[in-house]
Structure 1
Amino acid sequence: MAHILILGGGAAGLTAALAAAEAAPSAQVTVLERSPKPGKKLLATGNGRCNLDNTGIAPEKYFTADPAALRPLLQAVNAADPLGWLAAHGLYTRTDEAGRVYPYSNQAADVLALLEHHLARRRVQLRTGCTVSTLAQSRSGYAVQFQNAEGTAETLRADAVICAMGGAAGPQFGTDGFGPRFAGQCGGRVEPLYPCLTALQCAKPDKALAGIRAKAAASLLDGTHVLAVETGEVQFTDYGLSGICIMQLSGLLAPGRGPKAPAVELDLFPALDEAALAGLLAAHARQAAGERPADFWLGLLNPKLGRALWSAAALPDTAALTPGQWQKLARTAKHWRFEGLTPCGWKQAQVTGGGLALREVDTHFQFKGCPGLYFVGETLDCTGSCGGFNLHWAFGSGIAAGQAAGRCAAAGNRPPQHGRDPRKKRSR
């Protein structure tokens, strides 16, 4: 009997297992998951609501060192039709006004339970508490060594292996970066890992602003050059800046290819140009009660936020300003600069930037030179923006790889005994 082994029981791994079992009904499919229960990170996605896809899928929504290599792989993910595949398995979804797709129940637990239900129907063996250590070619395909839940060393042989062990983001969910490291052990070129979709620490945070939220346009700059602009709610923290728009910008801070002098500028009034804002501020001074800056911000901005903005503009302690000073305040409000940026650590990061280089796999997510060995999901150098793009990639790559592995197993194909050794680095 053919054996397909899935390393990792997250979103990509579980869909890969089910897709493989359906493509090769006579094969044995086994999932090895390190945590006591599968899908722990999936349960936390979308604050427990599971934002599982987006109607605006496009290459520009993803961060990678190799955009050209991403395009055919993303086409393969789209062709796998994750939403259609989930719908065919009984998941009813809804789409919000921003194109974000959720299970109709708004419960991530329902998505996991549905996958587990179908895996059980297909007699997929799900083994938890298993820590993978090595993979090597064997006479019949591949041999994977791991420590089982009882702490005993064990080896399983498989005709196909799908590596879906995730990245380094979210160690509280059982990840530690082993997936990309494992890809490196198999001889693949790995792009440096970095925390992605995370808050940013600033060199001089204003702790008094912690907890305040404001609508703004956030620009990432390299010195004076604007790299990207995101609009949304900014959250001020005791260490710096957070919010979805800030997290989106963090994806551009990749080691070696990100800005050398990163800074964020906030525009707190993106609907107004600088001249119009200066006029509004001067008019508001005449409407506001009193002449103190503390009174000036009534009906305009959070008072604490306004006072910090006033201080950043280095204005005198009076609301009776000259036209030039109103202009200065308007300029500061539209270009409030935060420097010394550092992404927060892995615990706060939603996903992992970097990973196995995309040119190391084909459009079935098979490791080139090693038939029957696949890498999917967060192990690869592809990170999506907030809003369901990462689960689209995880589900789609898992489905594509699972179906390919299942077809090979059903056809009785075996990896060549003298193919590329997955333990050896390729010369560059």
Structure 2
Amino acid sequence: MQQIVILGGGAAGMAAALAAAQAAGGSARITLLDRNPRCGKKLLATGNGRCNLDNTGIAPECYFTADPKALAPLLAAVERSAPLEWFRALGLYTRTDEAGRVYPYSNQAADVLALLEGQMARLGVEVRTGCTVNTISQNRNGYTVLFDSAEHSNETLHADAVICALGGNAGPQFGTDGFGTKFAAQCGGKLEPLYPCLTALQVAKPNRSLAGIRAKAAASLLDLDRHTTLAAETGEVQFTEYGLSGICIMQLSGLLAPKRGPKRPAVELDLFPALDEAALTALFAGRVSLLPGKTPADLWTGLLNPKLGKALWAAAHLPDKPLNTLPDAAWQVLANTAKHWLFEGLTPCGWKQAQTTGGGLSLTELEPSFQFKGCPGLYFVGETLDCAGMCGGFNLHWAFGSGITAGRDAVRSLSAARHLAHKKRGQRNSG
């Protein structure tokens, strides 16, 4: 009986194993190897434990990659695999919020994992945990996987097809070690530089007194050398001891890819996005006569956190004098600073804080089925690839969809090869 081996028990790996088992209908052995004591460790942490498994607004522009043109056919294949419908067919009932983010109705990632584990067991998928893959070699009859298990070192496993779903470098606390991209490089695949994606940003001069403060803002990523705005996001910004965080900041971090990101990036915060600069100037000036106190600290009552207001005042380089002694021009300066507060010297936080991996195996190396070009039966899926989605379910959509696509194609390809071999044998016997 032919065997399909899946390397990695994350979202993409479990989807590949289950989709292959469904397609095979018992005609092939499906074996999944994972290094953790249990599959889905990282899946349990997604969406703050709620498992934001998809989004209704899937589009190519929601993904960071070096080659958008190569992304198009792969994302189209993911869409055809319809991961959300696949889950619903498995019995998962979901809810969708106002931003298009899809969650299990229970809001429990553990329920999604339990469903996948239960379905794999029902369809006879052999799941082996505590296994660390060492090497994979190709031979005339397929592939040989060399790995260490919890019981033995240097075990070997023959595979007619291998689906590599070993993830990237992000989240080493969840058991990822970057082997997927290293193996892709060993296969001769072109790699795009890796970088922490969907992560907080360190800034050159952090204001540690603001740590823990949150504020609604519009955040823009600037290229200071080219005097351009690369992207803008609106949401809650969190100030930290080292810089800036929050979903809108994490989204911008996806554009800081080595070699193709700006050389001198900066984040510009607009703390009053609903008002233009003239209206904000008038708001500040009008408060002077309304407030019972006349100190700069009094200005922020009902507007901003006092510490945040103090930092903004300092950033505007205004004197610490009674408000009614300041010239009218001061309010325009303050409004301009509040609309264009600049944070320079950006550095993405490390792999432990990153939600996903930017860069990886170039998408140009893959067929639309996620098969590695020139290596029949070898597939790469999920986070190993140079495709990182924005926050909001885009990465799990890619992981589940690429896994389903590869799992189904592996069965189809092996079935076609088996049929062709039978046909050739029949022709030789008849001759």
Residue 182 in structure 1 maps to residue 180 in structure 2? no
Q: Does the residue aligned with 1:246 lie in a helix, a strand or coil?
A: helix
Query: What percent identity do the matched residue pairs reach?
Result: 73
Distance 1:352 1:287 in 2: 51
Q: How does 1:358-397 map to 2 (within 5 A)?
A: 358-397=363-402
Q: Which 4+ runs in 1 deviate beyond 6 A?
A: none
Query: Do 1:54 and 1:389's aligned partners in 2 also have CA atoms closer than 8 Å?
Result: yes
Which one-letter code corresponds to 1:84 in the other structure?
E
TM-score by length of 2: 0.95
Who is 1:352 aligned against? 357
Query: Do 1:370 and 1:415's aligned partners in 2 also have CA atoms closer than 8 Å?
Result: no
Who is 1:6 aligned against? 6
Which one-letter code corresponds to 1:399 in the other structure?
I
Q: How does 1:8-407 map to 2 (within 5 A)?
A: 8-25=8-25, 26-223=27-224, 224-318=227-321, 319-320=323-324, 321-407=326-412
Structure 1 residue ranges without an equivalent (≥5): 417-428
TM-superposed deviation, 1:415: 12
Q: Does the residue aligned with 1:409 lie in a helix, a strand or coil?
A: helix
Bigger drift between 128-137 and 334-343 goes to 128-137
Distance 1:232 1:118 in 2: 38
Who is 2:428 aligned against? none
Which one-letter code corresponds to 2:62 in the other structure?
K
Which one-letter code corresponds to 1:162 in the other structure?
I
Distance 2:82 2:418 in 1: 26
TM-superposed deviation, 1:151: 4.2
Distance 1:37 1:182 in 2: 23
Query: Do 1:201 and 1:341's aligned partners in 2 also have CA atoms closer than 8 Å?
Result: yes
Deviations 1:17-67 (A, max 9, x none): 011111112210000101111100000000000000000000000000001
Distance 1:221 1:109 in 2: 39
Who is 1:424 aligned against? none
TM-superposed deviation, 1:122: 0.8
Distance 1:52 1:80 in 2: 15
Structure 2 residue ranges without an equivalent (≥5): 422-431
Query: Do 1:358 and 1:381's aligned partners in 2 also have CA atoms closer than 8 Å?
Result: yes
Which one-letter code corresponds to 2:278 in the other structure?
A
Query: Do 1:269 and 1:333's aligned partners in 2 also have CA atoms closer than 8 Å?
Result: yes
Q: Does the residue aligned with 1:215 lie in a helix, a strand or coil?
A: strand
Who is 1:422 aligned against? none
Q: Does the residue aligned with 1:349 lie in a helix, a strand or coil?
A: coil
Distance 1:197 1:335 in 2: 23
Q: Does the residue aligned with 1:4 lie in a helix, a strand or coil?
A: strand
TM-score by length of 1: 0.96
Give the aligned CA root-mean-square deviation in angstroms.
1.2
Distance 1:413 1:188 in 2: 28
TM-superposed deviation, 1:412: 4.5
Distance 1:19 1:408 in 2: 14
Bigger drift between 140-149 and 331-340 goes to 140-149
Query: Do 1:92 and 1:103's aligned partners in 2 also have CA atoms closer than 8 Å?
Result: yes
Deviations 1:346-376 (A, max 9, x none): 0000000000000101110000011100000
Which one-letter code corresponds to 1:29 in the other structure?
I
Q: Does the residue aligned with 2:288 lie in a helix, a strand or coil?
A: helix
Which one-letter code corresponds to 2:46 in the other structure?
T
Distance 1:195 1:356 in 2: 15
Who is 1:423 aligned against? none
Bigger drift between 137-146 and 117-126 goes to 137-146
Query: Do 1:141 and 1:415's aligned partners in 2 also have CA atoms closer than 8 Å?
Result: no
Which one-letter code corresponds to 1:390 in the other structure?
N
Deviations 1:135-161 (A, max 9, x none): 111231111111111241111111100
TM-superposed deviation, 1:413: 3.8
Distance 2:148 2:249 in 1: 40
TM-superposed deviation, 1:287: 1.7
Which one-letter code corresponds to 2:84 in the other structure?
L
